[in-house]
Amino acid sequence: MEFLVASAIGVLTATGLYLVLRLRSFPVIMGISLLTYAVNVFLFASGRLTVGAPPILGDATSYTDPLPQALVLTAIVISFGMTAVVVMIALGAYLGADDDHVNDPPPPPDGTTPAEDAQ
């Protein structure tokens, strides 16, 4: 199981990083999502992998660490919200500029601010 979880985290991270390095907003957002999945699994595994044990301390001889589960829950909620925000902002930028590149647009040759949307 350790191998499975570790390779899942690795593959998700590698794919996410590759996509994040792309130039257009859709693959980058997909990459961010994959990275957050990877980190969620990673956080879950940081409390050691245990099967079939209750997440409480008590008279049980074995237990699973409950704290990483709470951390993962928080992380999932936050990354979900953030992804929604970035999708909306990217959509606004795409509809405004008709272009979904994430890098800065090239400045005019004289380096001045483009006149049409200087505000």
Instruction: Tell me which residues touch other proteins (CB under 8 A).
Output: 2-3, 6, 20, 25, 28-29, 32, 35-36, 39, 42-43, 45-48, 67-68, 71, 74-75, 78-79, 81-83, 85-86, 89-90, 92-93, 96-97, 102-105, 107, 111-115, 117-119
Least Å distance, CB 52 to other proteins, is 19
Judged by beta carbon, residue 52 or residue 85, the one nearer other proteins is: 85
Helix H or strand E segment including 45: helix 25-45
Q: Which two tokens stand for residue 94?
A: 């795409």
Judged by beta carbon, residue 60 or residue 97, the one nearer other proteins is: 97
Q: Strand, helix or coil at 101?
A: strand
Least Å distance, CB 43 to other proteins, is 4
- CB proximity list for 16: less than 8 A, separation 6 or greater: 31, 32, 33, 34, 35, 37, 38
Cα 86 to Cα 20: distance, rounded to the nearest angstrom:
13
Smallest CA-to-CA distance from 31 within 77, 73, 74, 90 is with 90
Least Å distance, CB 113 to other proteins, is 4
Least Å distance, CB 15 to other proteins, is 13
104 CA to centre of own chain: 22
Judged by beta carbon, residue 52 or residue 114, the one nearer other proteins is: 114
